[in-house]
Structure 1
């Protein structure tokens, strides 16, 4: 699709962008996700201001059937294996409208992925159909009060005891903490790392509300005080589950790129609409050279980030861990782009971009966390630099 950025251009043209390189199946998924986002757009501001679960969005997401894309068909999902490209396309569409809606969908996936790959058949049959219907809210518990990016430093312990597996420790900044029905928990076991599924109602598990963020988020702190779960709740191989956790990040990190592209597109559309309708110095803003160039640069960067996100997601369909570098690149590209684009959008809109409660203000706040969670830009660049040195040898 090729269009020129002219004064009389229909703003909707930019909104439609991104259909290239998608087959008919993915285009249909994209349209379904866009329809849901449009349906919920009137309540997006209220939902995004909530630090708890916004029930109207959970109900609408459940009714849409989109959560079937984060669970295999054997347990009520859409296809035999998860499709990172479908998940990325969905998150792009949902984030265009609401960060709360995007997070609700995305964490159903990453929160249940280690169960999907490493859980027993009995455990998967118990929980995964409920993930699809959103009867169960999923969460993955990795970070701790003193541990963020360096997950090998986790202090939570998992120990085999007579009654099953005992979990001791604390987790912090856990998305869906306090709202989740179960947690897939990473901890040390002997000299290695293991994962277990802990139901939210397990004896000894205490969940508290987490810190308030600049962009409200369902966030909680978890304390595991001698929590004992059945041995069948183990996820993956004892002491060897770190790779399982990395696989989950590999599948879903690229979907964060999709979210960032959706947010950047929304900011660009807001700024373009303003520039077309706002008159200064006797002409629409879009006719002022610096404004038009700023919007054109933003459009270029959004399309570039979208292309990278789709490519990385397509690669992750066959070998997530093998293509983790590309998922990291896509995440860096898209989240940094979102930050630049929304900042330019505020600048184009001037004082109107500073109004508290406006869509552009909400987008500005929602853009900032994207560069930190699921691998900060600096941590990912450091990892890529090390990989580059190995490749160069």
Structure 2
């Protein structure tokens, strides 16, 4: 399927999702409390089958879901995405026992997942993680590359340190946690653990953020984990993190495109009916050209998102570069489009409850999370030079 053209069935499905979001999901979102997990909304995502699709769909379908939901209900989009981000490592790297324990509950919207990578001193620089996974004395003295069973039981660690800016924290039911198992090894010394929220020593607090979805900090005070909690392999958790982000970064771009399209459509309607200077706003060439620029950038971002997602689905070799490009272009574009829409609407767009006031608060965070724009530029440049050296 060409990356620049959707099948009629896909277009129809996107329209259905927009209607679903507006009619069934938005009322539940409006009942939620900002900064807290909306379990009613998540349960409804499970009932309508969208959470199931997180694990049965490809990257392009994930993008279409996120774009469609974002257009009509950003809260539903974010709730869906956070479930996928937190649970995807379990789906792809978990043991049968881990998957059986958590994934059915995630699909049904009963269990809330979270992806715990960022730290106070290691946000974009994920290889600099400081959360320590220290071997218990009764385990092997030398850090192995695989979980090694000591004479009296499997490998065990204690997690000590902090995580910060974790979506769904501290209200999630389980966390995909990335911790350092080998000091001084950079990205090669990180292990992914599945940590239930009720583990002793794990506490959390909510953070008051600009974005309305729940974000918090986690404190690990000797939290016990064992080989049974490892996702993937010991010291290879960075691959788990990057594999997850390569899938979800294009779909962050899709989220941004959905918001940009909503802002563009609102601006088209407003400028077509708003009286100004003896005519309609759209009759002013400066306004018409600005709206054209908004549409141009939105469509360009959409096409890059679809291309990146298609590359992921086709196992193309340049997925990291394409994913970074898609997230970078789409999130920066959405910031421009929403800001410009506010400018063309004037003061009314700054009123609490206005669509654009809501989008203005929502659109800023995607330029930072899952790798800030500067990090995406670094990834793109690294991939370009790596390809040059390989020639």
Return the TM-score normalized by structure 1.
0.88
Match of 1:186 among 171, 178, 182: 178
Please state if 1:57 is matched with 2:41: yes
Structure 1 stretch 275-284 or stretch 246-255: which is displaced more? Answer: 275-284
Structure 1: distance between partners of 2:245 and 2:324: 10
Q: Which residue of 1 aligns with 2:124?
A: 149
Q: Do 1:186 and 1:193's aligned partners in 2 also have CA atoms closer than 8 Å? A: yes
Structure 1: distance between partners of 2:26 and 2:124: 36
Q: Do 1:51 and 1:218's aligned partners in 2 also have CA atoms closer than 8 Å? A: yes
Match of 2:206 among 205, 209, 212: 209
Q: Do 2:29 and 2:76's aligned partners in 1 also have CA atoms closer than 8 Å? A: no
Please state if 1:233 is matched with 2:233: no
Q: Which residue of 2 aligns with 1:4?
A: none
Cα offset for 1:356? 2.8
Q: Do 1:247 and 1:321's aligned partners in 2 also have CA atoms closer than 8 Å? A: no
Local SS of the residue matching 2:262: helix
Residues 294-320 of structure 1 deviation map (CA, whole Å, 9 limit, x = unaligned): 111111111111111111011111337
Match of 2:102 among 114, 123, 127: 127
Q: Which residue of 1 aligns with 2:150?
A: none
Match of 1:33 among 4, 7, 17: 17
Structure 2: distance between partners of 1:193 and 1:20: 38
Change (3 A) 1:229 1:320: farther
Structure 1: segments with no counterpart, 5+ residues: 1-18, 72-78
Cα offset for 1:145? 1.4
Please state if 1:326 is matched with 2:322: yes
Q: Which residue of 2 aligns with 1:173?
A: 165
Cα offset for 1:42? 5.0
Q: Which residue of 1 aligns with 2:50?
A: 66
Structure 1: distance between partners of 2:113 and 2:334: 27
Q: Do 2:26 and 2:76's aligned partners in 1 also have CA atoms closer than 8 Å? A: no
Q: Which residue of 1 aligns with 2:84?
A: 109
Cα offset for 1:45? 7.4
Structure 2: distance between partners of 1:248 and 1:314: 16
Q: Do 2:22 and 2:73's aligned partners in 1 also have CA atoms closer than 8 Å? A: no
Please state if 1:90 is matched with 2:70: no
Structure 2: distance between partners of 1:322 and 1:109: 23
What value does the CA root-mean-square deviation take over the aligned residues?
2.0
Cα offset for 1:22? 2.0
Change (3 A) 1:126 1:258: same
Match of 1:196 among 193, 197, 220: 193
Change (3 A) 1:235 1:106: same
Change (3 A) 1:41 1:183: closer
Structure 2: segments with no counterpart, 5+ residues: 139-152
Match of 1:352 among 329, 348, 352: 348
Cα offset for 1:277? 1.4
Local SS of the residue matching 1:203: coil
Q: Do 1:268 and 1:295's aligned partners in 2 also have CA atoms closer than 8 Å? A: yes
Cα offset for 1:322? 4.2
Cα offset for 1:25? 5.2
Q: Do 1:194 and 1:240's aligned partners in 2 also have CA atoms closer than 8 Å? A: yes
Q: Which residue of 2 aligns with 1:299?
A: 295
Cα offset for 1:390? 2.7
Structure 2: distance between partners of 1:41 and 1:284: 34
Local SS of the residue matching 2:170: coil
Local SS of the residue matching 1:168: strand
Change (3 A) 1:25 1:226: farther
